[in-house]
Amino acid sequence: MRAFLLRRMLTMIPVLVLVSLIAFGVTSLLPGDAALAILGESLAKDEKLYQSLRRELGLDLPVYAQYLRWGGRVLTGDLGVSIRSKQPVLEAILQRLPPTIQLTMMSLVLALVVALPIGLISAVRPNSWADIVGTVLALSGVAVPHFWLGILLMFLLAVWLGLLPPSGYARLLDDPLASLRLMIMPCMTLATGLAAVVTRQVRSALLEALQDDYIRTARSKGLEERAIVVRHALRNALIPVVTIIGMQTGRLFGGAVVVETIFSIPGIGRLAVDSIFYRDFPVLQGVVLLMAVAVLLINLATDILYGYIDPRIRYT
């Protein structure tokens, strides 16, 4: 296991380097001047002040030199300083991290609670009305965009029925009830796509597992159908399901950008959007790098989980 983890950690290094190159390169190509954003139109007219600030920010250097300077600071844990708030980027990201973690984890749990039973029923009773309804719901969940579903839920549940607050955020530790009520619609919006994909994968993998020889052997021995499906078939079908969940969990961070903007949640996604609007490139680069690290760690956790699901898998 140690050798496996070491190899995986080493393979993450070139991926992170590539992500950092893309993040730095794309933000460098975006229109706007960081020095101008800091000084404003009036103060930027002072050429000496303007050029002095550009030298302080390193904007007078070639792009490759700027990247090496930024990359060297990143290796020491210094992601820079926000142009807008003058706050260290790492500190700003850590402050916005709890709402995003809460949103993604609650969405993941909601998606699994909905997807696993529907996928299981669809596989056990193929071509039944339950299977047809599950298929329609899954296809609808994949097809509906996050932004449209979020606005629709806001209009239906908040504006029309008045059951939930339309937007906002409350810390879970400060006011658990208000926090959960504010998170219902964002979690429904974010979980829909994941639930749809997992439902189809559970159905497909379980249908295939139920056709294997060991299932026929278990049935011939007189085991209960429930025990056959849950203890034997479902466990063997979980490997591809866990793979899909790991891949889609990384996509939750991308969906969080849209959802947090719609529902005014002060998370990482909202921070990224605000950074684009205000040309706060250091914060945007830090957010992209953090999301890349999160996705890599999720994929690593998924690979490790394989060994616990299937004891035949060994890591060397």
On whether residue 158 sits in a domain, the answer given is yes
Domain residue limits at 69: 2-75
- Give pLDDT, residue 311: 65
- CB under 8 A, 24+ apart: contacts of 171-175: 171/98, 172/102
Q: Domain tally for the chain?
A: 2
Question: Do 290 and 143 fall within a single domain?
Answer: yes
CA–CA separation, 251 and 265 (whole Å): 18
pTM over 0.85: no
CATH of the domain at 249: 1.10.3720.10
Question: Do 142 and 56 fall within a single domain?
Answer: no
Q: What is the DSSP secondary-structure string of 85-119?
A: T--BHHHHHHHHHHHHHHHHHHHHHHHHHHHHHHH
What three-state secondary structure class fits 165? coil
Question: Do 131 and 71 fall within a single domain?
Answer: no
On whether residue 116 sits in a domain, the answer given is yes
- Give pLDDT, residue 236: 77
On whether residue 83 sits in a domain, the answer given is no
On whether residue 262 sits in a domain, the answer given is yes
**Tens-of-pLDDT digits for all 316 residues of the chain?**
677 777 777 888 888 888 888 878 777 666 666 666 666 666 666 667 767 767 766 666 777 787 888 888 888 888 888 877 788 888 888 989 899 999 999 999 999 898 888 888 888 888 888 888 888 888 787 788 888 888 898 888 888 888 888 888 888 888 889 889 989 999 999 888 888 888 888 888 888 888 877 777 777 877 777 777 777 777 777 788 888 888 777 778 778 888 988 898 998 888 888 888 777 788 888 888 888 888 888 888 887 777 777 666 666 6
Question: Do 21 and 106 fall within a single domain?
Answer: no
Question: Do 22 and 123 fall within a single domain?
Answer: no
On whether residue 87 sits in a domain, the answer given is no
Question: Do 108 and 203 fall within a single domain?
Answer: yes
C-alpha pair distances (Å), 285 with each of 22, 26, 82, 282, 290: 9, 9, 11, 5, 9
Question: Do 115 and 220 fall within a single domain?
Answer: yes
Q: What is the DSSP secondary-structure string of 220-243?
A: HTT--HHHIIIIIIHHHHHHHHHH
On whether residue 89 sits in a domain, the answer given is no
On whether residue 242 sits in a domain, the answer given is yes
Question: Do 51 and 163 fall within a single domain?
Answer: no
